[in-house]
A and B are shown apart, each in its own frame.
Chain A
Amino acid sequence: MVFWGSRRNTSFTYPANLFEHGIVFPHFAEAFSRPDLYWAFLLTIITLVLIDGTESLATIQAIDKIDPFKRKSDPNVTLRAMGVSNTASSLLGGLTIIPGGMKSTTNMLVGGRTLWANFYYACFQLIFLLFATTLINQIPKAAWQGCSYGSDGNCARTKSSSGSSRWARNRCLSPWSMSCDVMDLGPVGRHDRGHGDEDCLAREGCRTSVPRWVGAALKELFGNPVIRIGDGRGLVM
């Protein structure tokens, strides 16, 4: 599959100006003017609703099992949110929206515990879409697929509770399902050529222009928050 993907485009191409080329509204008038397509539309809508609903419920079930606080998601709220989000997204020409196992797993692994993780995720995604499409375009599809496969495998491992065979089955099926509905594979490294000098210059520019207090603040935010344990007379860390 990798060799098959190597003959295709290896990364997504996001438009440089998101507002100029990135938003395409649906052509409802043309769709409603073709009665012969009504049945196909209906089948597509029902299929997507069933797939999204099933995947959403499976995702929240898996995420609930790895929630450090053992909280339980409400399936009714999840399905309602999925319906409202998908309706709004479809009216604007967007894709379907469902709970993401990859995002939730990543958030938990890096310490996210509350709904603020969703907010931070949305903010960072918006920032990258608006200001860093060049970086997104350099990410090979294989890397996206690897992330999806890894997190999907984690979810599959969480879902399975009856032994290794079920885990193996889920593990084998996960790349198939992901490759069917998300993306195709491509080789890693094609876009690495020719960008080394620019990257070095960019890093050097950042290093010289960023004030020193920014580094201290980042160190405090990402470093070990424990200054010490004890009052200096006993255990010191």
Chain B
Amino acid sequence: MTVAANAVLRGTVGEMKNPYKIYLSSVTCMNLVKLDAALKKIVVPEGSKANYMLILAGKIYDHTSMEYMHTSRIEPSTAGNTCVLVGIEHFRGLSDHALAYRVSQVPGNLAAFA
């Protein structure tokens, strides 16, 4: 599946009001289920829109997790929610694919700013 890069980054941080700030360490296919379970605990009142801010503070995000973040239930297609990925510029994709495996380029632990 080919996805444009701007399809992953929806909206901008500046236009969000009271977002759910979700700080993430490394996400791979091996702990994606736990992320999904944690996100399902967020209860958004019916009829209201939610803003999600996924802050990437880990070292790696594999293709599976990138695709999950792209097509997960917090996508704005369902209830007009908005979602942005913060910190993705610190990661280097291992291919030209928009949802490719990404490795942190920043030495040390990005969780420091989380």
Which residues of A approach B to under 8 Å, CB–CB?
Answer: 69, 110-114, 116-117, 120, 220-231, 237
Contact = CB atoms under 8 A, between A and B. Distances in A.
Contact of A117 (B20, B23, B29, B111): B29
A111 B64 contact: yes
Nearest to B55: A227
Contact of A113 (B20, B21, B29, B38): B29
A222 B26 CA distance: 9
A227 B111 CA distance: 8
B1 to A, nearest CB: 9
A224 B29 contact: no
Interface residues of B, number: 30
Interface string B9-42: 0000000000011111111111111110011001
A120 B30 CA distance: 11
Interface of B: 20-35, 38-39, 42, 57-59, 62-64, 67-68, 71, 111, 114
Contacts of A221: 26, 28, 30-31
Q: Which 3 A-B pairs have the closest CB atoms?
A: A227-B23, A111-B32, A226-B38
Contacts of B114: 227-228
Contacts of B71: 69
A112 B38 contact: no
Contact of A226 (B23, B29, B33): B23
Contacts of A222: 30-31
19 contacts: A110-B30, A111-B30, A113-B67, A113-B68, A114-B64, A116-B63, A117-B64, A220-B58, A220-B59, A222-B30, A225-B35, A225-B58, A226-B39, A227-B24, A227-B57, A229-B21, A229-B38, A230-B20, A230-B21
